[in-house]
Chain A
Amino acid sequence: ILNVEQSPQSLHVQEGDSTNFTCSFPSSNFYALHWYRWETAKSPEALFVMTLNGDEKKKGRISATLNTKEGYSYLYIKGSQPEDSATYLCAFMVGSGYSTLTFGKGTMLLVSP
């Protein structure tokens, strides 16, 4: 059974704060690591798909890094805004592009004005 751990479980920050979350996954047989943002009552939205060790991806104020050898990925949000409030999910894929995603429980972020 694959285990994907996310920490912290929840986070409450003030507008303008920068924050980061962690996703830990098995380091063997790695294929890809996905990050999603999931706002309440909406569909999860894909942020990044990361495949290479050392990968660093950026989308606006959000960036992510990947370490496949030690099995972790960090998601950073610079200058958090209230609209960043959401649950951030990571999901791990083994083996090949035809295998399925195993999700973590998510980190719930609340940004107060």
Chain B
Amino acid sequence: GAVVSQHPSWVICKSGTSVKIECRSLDFQATTMFWYRQFPKQSLMLMATSNEGSKATYEQGVEKDKFLINHASLTLSTLTVTSAHPEDSSFYICSATDPGGVGYTFGSGTRLTVV
């Protein structure tokens, strides 16, 4: 089936630095990629929807200048957390529509800790 490879799986960074998370669709073209965030004991919350070649659509309350999304190719979408602060520490995960299967295909997620 379709696979989305997400890296890194975990990252620790200092407050004020930026972190980039990558999601690659390995065997299909992901026209649309969704980025979610999950805080402890909470549900996956959609942050933004990115479409290849166009600007991402951000959900209400998500700062687009802080969470930069780039979807420059059909197989790669990136999320950059700029000037990260401890409150950005969370679990981030991407997903894409599985063209040949059921539902959406997810990456394995990235645990971000900002110290």
Contact = CB atoms under 8 A, between A and B. Distances in A.
Interface of A: 4, 34, 36, 41-49, 89, 91, 100-106
B107 A103 contact: no
Interface centre among B34, B102, B106, B107 (most CB of A within 10 A): B102
Contacts, number: 51
B43 A103 contact: yes
A100 B98 CA distance: 14
Contact of A43 (B43, B45, B108): B108
Interface of B: 4, 6, 9, 34, 36, 41-46, 49, 93, 95, 98, 101-109
B104 A34 contact: yes
Contacts of B105: 43, 46
A48 B46 contact: no
Given A34-B103, A100-B49, A42 B43 contact: no
